[in-house]
Amino acid sequence: MIKYLVRRFWYGVLVLLGVNLATFFLFFTVNTPDDMARLNLGGKRVTAEAIEKWKSERGYDKPLYVNTKESGAAQITETIFWERSVSLFALKFGRADSESAGDIGHEVASRMWVSLQMALPLFVLQVFASTAFALLLVMFRHTKLDFWGVVSCVLMLSISSLFYIIVGQYLFSRVLKLAPISGYAPGLDAVKFLLLPIGLSLIARLGGEARLYRAMFLEEIGKDYVRTARAKGLAEGAVMVGHVLRNALIPIITSAGSYLPYVFLGSLVFESFFGLPGLGAYVIEAIGKQDFAVVRTMVFLGSLLYIATYMLIDVAYTWVDPRVRLG
């Protein structure tokens, strides 16, 4: 397994390097530093002095790839590419392009915990709720409960998450006044601001996840080991939990694990609508301000988290199924 993980690590480094190079090339080919300065300073009627000052404050006054004015290693390190792309591998994100955004590293570190407070409980609840609901439908398959459960799943996955947000805010905040409509407070006070977005997000994802897990369980119950377990006199609940669920864990881990990066990066839509100062809202703000430094950083972090997540998923496969060997 160690050799496999080392190999996957270096594959991940190459993938991350490719994504980083492509992102840097696209951003600085489509928009030059002068274009970025004009966007942030207010359009076309900007003086050359103001542009040069803006570029100097953010390090954009240097050459892109090679600095011929320097000698030795400084020819490479004293460039925009080194300071804005290579430095990301050391988690040095630099300053944001907009005037009020400040240091990107500080913003990421502080906002990450807000995103975690919402996404981590949501992730755990989502896995347990979807799995339990799908198991219930399969246990009562070919009954009215199964039929209407599947209908409910189709309805839930067919409705946009924006609908859940708007209706949930109106019903639970304005009419019933059970939760604040938006906002955030640190400490234990954060609970009352997080309950509504977590609940609505759980409902929005429940239909698709439960229907997928139900299909996985239905595939398992027709196999020989399930018939053997029933022939030995095991109760249906024991068969479903001890055999069907256990053997369906690999696709469940794959599906649930793909959501893990969002635990750290936050939910773009829910954080924006509920006024949560997490990473998702940070990305939306950066896109609105055309702050390319923040967007590049979040693309890099997203790629890093996806690579790390799928390495963890591979290791989890060996834990749930001893027949899986990493080599």
State the pLDDT confidence band at 325, using cuts at 50, 70 and 90: low
Q: Which of 1-5, 88-92, 199-203, 212-216 is predicted with the least confidence, judged by mean pLDDT?
A: 1-5
Question: Would you state the pLDDT for residue 132?
Answer: 93
End-of-domain residue from the set 90, 121, 146: 90
Residue 12 belongs to domain spanning: 2-90
Statement to judge: residues 70 and 124 lie in one domain: no
What's the CA gap between 247 and 99, in Å, rounded? Answer: 53
Statement to judge: residues 61 and 209 lie in one domain: no
CB-CB contact of 296 with 25 (8 Å)? no
CATH of the domain at 277: 1.10.3720.10
Statement to judge: residues 121 and 204 lie in one domain: yes
Which structure tokens are listed for 228?
């053997």
Q: Is the pLDDT of residue 327 over 60?
A: no
Question: Would you state the pLDDT for residue 101?
Answer: 59
Would you say residue 66 lies in a domain? yes
Statement to judge: residues 69 and 185 lie in one domain: no
> Could you report the per-residue pLDDT of 221-260, keeping only the tens digit for each?
888 888 888 888 888 888 888 888 888 888 888 888 877 7
State the pLDDT confidence band at 100, using cuts at 50, 70 and 90: low
What's the CA gap between 248 and 243, in Å, rounded? Answer: 9
Question: Would you state the pLDDT for residue 266?
Answer: 67
Number of domains in the chain: 2
Would you say residue 97 lies in a domain? no
Question: Would you state the pLDDT for residue 44?
Answer: 61
- Phi and psi at 119, nearest 5°, equal -80, -30
Q: Is the pLDDT of residue 40 over 80?
A: no
Statement to judge: residues 129 and 235 lie in one domain: yes
Task: Report long-range pairs for 104-112 (Cβ below 8 Å, ≥24 apart).
Answer: 104/293, 104/294, 104/297, 107/282, 107/294, 108/279, 108/282, 108/297, 108/301, 111/266, 111/277, 111/278, 111/279, 111/281, 111/282, 112/264, 112/278, 112/279
Statement to judge: residues 6 and 80 lie in one domain: yes
State the pLDDT confidence band at 128, using cuts at 50, 70 and 90: very high
End-of-domain residue from the set 90, 115, 137: 90
Question: Would you state the pLDDT for residue 93?
Answer: 85
Statement to judge: residues 26 and 84 lie in one domain: yes
Statement to judge: residues 63 and 128 lie in one domain: no
Q: Is the pLDDT of residue 5 over 70?
A: yes
Mean of the per-residue pLDDT values of the chain: 85
CB-CB contact of 139 with 314 (8 Å)? no
State the pLDDT confidence band at 136, using cuts at 50, 70 and 90: very high
CB-CB contact of 313 with 253 (8 Å)? yes
Statement to judge: residues 200 and 276 lie in one domain: yes
Is residue 95 classed as helix, strand or coil in its secondary structure?
strand
What's the CA gap between 103 and 92, in Å, rounded? Answer: 10
The pTM (predicted TM-score) of the whole model is 0.81
Statement to judge: residues 30 and 171 lie in one domain: no
State the pLDDT confidence band at 43, using cuts at 50, 70 and 90: low
Residue count (the chain) = 327
Work out the percent of the chain whose per-residue pLDDT is above 90: 17
**Mean pLDDT, residues 16-21:** 89
Would you say residue 96 lies in a domain? no
Would you say residue 27 lies in a domain? yes
Reference 122, options 49, 195, 223, 68; nearest CA is 195
Question: Would you state the pLDDT for residue 324?
Answer: 67
**Mean pLDDT, residues 198-208:** 90
Statement to judge: residues 53 and 135 lie in one domain: no
Would you say residue 325 lies in a domain? no
